Amino acid sequence: MPVTLYLAIPCYNEEEVLPETARRLAGKFAMLLAAGTITAGSRICFIDDGSKDSTWAIIDRLHRENPLFSGIKLSRNRGHQNALLCGLMTLRSRADCVISMDADLQDDIDAIDAMLEKFQGGIDVVYGVRAQRETDTAFKRVTAQGFYRVMKALGAEVVFNHADYRLMSRRALDALAEYPEVNLFLRGMVPLVGYPSDVVYYNRAPRFAGESKYPLKKMLAFAWEGITSLSVKPIKLITWLGLTMFLVSMGMLIWFLIRHFTGNTVVGWSSLAVSIWAIGGLQLLAIGIVGQYIGKIYLEAKHRPRYQVEVFLDTPAESGEK
Ligand code: UDP
Ligand code: MG
């Protein structure tokens, strides 16, 4: 049975890669259609995340030239995760399953076949996992893999070396829609949904044009977002740290009292000064981390929309072509 597949591809200033990406994906879809794997109502949807270049003009043209292409325009830049969620939520009612991927095709599109095969075998969530990432810079590789380790240590369930290249069934997407949080970290939220899941391995290629939209600063912010959205361990760790510090200072007090009564009084202002600084620093750190969580509660309490769709171009299968 052919399935109706939608691709959700967030794009931010991707004019350099879009035409080539569209060409390659159209070729892939033609093959899948010929093989009877997908229906004629399957679509490739680009989500323009408030780009400042001609990205939307290109998407608009692709849609007019070929109903295979759909487009969603966000009213402004909301970041990769929000754009992706917008795509998933907008498309879920039209598709049997949606595959999310990046516009730069760093993730091998030939893994789509294996994903669809697993989906047809009854799997709801298929994670694309990078088997090797030699093409990434050593720095990107080390930081990214360190990140997955830290996440794991903090108790957040993330699939190792899986970015946002994944297939989700309509049922899984409907479940994801029940998560109303605005602090989005999709690759940590999807495992929470449950349902049968599996992985597909592929090799990661270099970006074929344009440059990464994730500089170090954004990457660090993203990692922090992931940790604080999924884990309250930092707060717990601080509590233990505070307790340990308190016990140590009690020990010190006893030690100094013994010194005092045995007549070995120390001048000791240096140890005082050091401990004032240590405790002061720790307190500020602790307040800072707690503050980060309060900031998140503040954002969640506001319930602001996570994205705003300005235009949605799509040719529904029934009214459509062929
Ligand atoms: N992206 C987006 N909004 C942003 C930043 C990035 O939609 O604010 C998209 C971007 O167009 C790409 C994907 O997110 O399709 C991943 O970005 P990129 O390839 O630059 O990240 P990297 O692969 O270097 O981690
Ligand atoms: Mg990329």
pLDDT digit string (tens) for the chain, length 322 residues:
899 999 999 999 999 999 999 999 999 999 999 999 999 999 999 999 999 999 999 999 999 999 999 999 999 999 999 999 999 999 999 999 999 999 998 889 999 999 999 999 999 999 999 887 666 778 877 887 888 888 788 777 788 888 899 999 999 999 999 998 888 888 888 998 889 999 999 988 777 777 777 777 887 888 888 777 777 777 777 777 877 877 787 777 787 778 778 877 666 766 776 677 778 777 877 887 887 788 788 777 777 778 888 899 988 876 544 4
**What pLDDT score was predicted for residue 321?**
43
Specify whether the CB–CB gap between 70 and 43 falls below 8 A.
Answer: yes
Q: How many A from CA of 104 to the centre of ligand 2?
A: 5
Question: CA nearest 14: which of 218, 165, 211?
Answer: 211
Q: Which atom of ligand 1 is nearest to the CA of 9?
A: 15
> How do residues 76-116 score in pLDDT, each as one tens digit?
999 999 999 999 999 999 999 999 999 998 889 999 999 99
User: Ligand 1 centre and the CA of 139: distance in Å?
Assistant: 18
List, in order, residues 6 or more apart from 247 with CB less than 8 Å away. Answer: none
Cα(284) to ligand 2 centroid in Å equals 37
258 CB-contact burial (10 Å; exposed 0-12 / middle 13-18 / buried 19+): exposed
Which atom of ligand 1 is the closest one to the Cα of 83?
A: 7
The atom of ligand 1 lying closest to the CA of 106 is 23
For residue 216, what pLDDT is reported? 78
Closest CA to 58 of 313, 322, 308, 315: 313
Residue 112's CB: how many other CB atoms inside 10 A?
A: 27
Q: Return d(Cα 186, Cα 248) in angstroms, integer.
A: 41
Half-sphere exposure of 46 (CA within 13 A, CB side): 30
**H or E segment to which residue 187 belongs:** helix 186-193
* Cα–Cα dist 62/313, whole Å: 10
Residue 13, classed as helix, strand or coil, is coil
CB count in 10 Å sphere of residue 307: 24
CB atoms within 10 A of CB 193: 19
Q: What pTM did the predictor assign?
A: 0.79
Residues 6+ apart with CB under 8 A from 9: 21, 44, 45, 46, 47, 87, 100, 101, 102, 103
Spatial contact of 44 and 7, defined as CB atoms under 8 Å apart: yes
Q: Cα separation of 176 and 302, whole Å? A: 20
Which DSSP symbol is given to 207?
Answer: P
Count of other CB atoms within 10 angstroms of residue 247: 10
Q: Find the residues whose C-beta lies inside 6 A of ligand 1.
A: 10-12, 14, 49, 77, 79-80, 83, 102-104, 106, 212-214
Q: Which two tokens stand for residue 281?
A: 């620093």
Ligand 2 center to 200 CA (angstroms):
18
Measuring CA to CA, how many Å separate 143 from each of 133, 148, 161, 177, 210? 12, 9, 12, 31, 22
DSSP 248: H
Task: Give the strand pairing for 197-203 and 162-169.
Answer: unpaired
pLDDT at residue 266, as a whole number: 63
Structure confidence at residue 218 (pLDDT): 80
Pick the closest to residue 127 from 199, 191, 204 (CA basis).
199
Reported as a single tens digit per residue, the pLDDT across 192-241 is 888 999 999 998 877 777 777 777 788 788 888 877 777 777 777 777 78
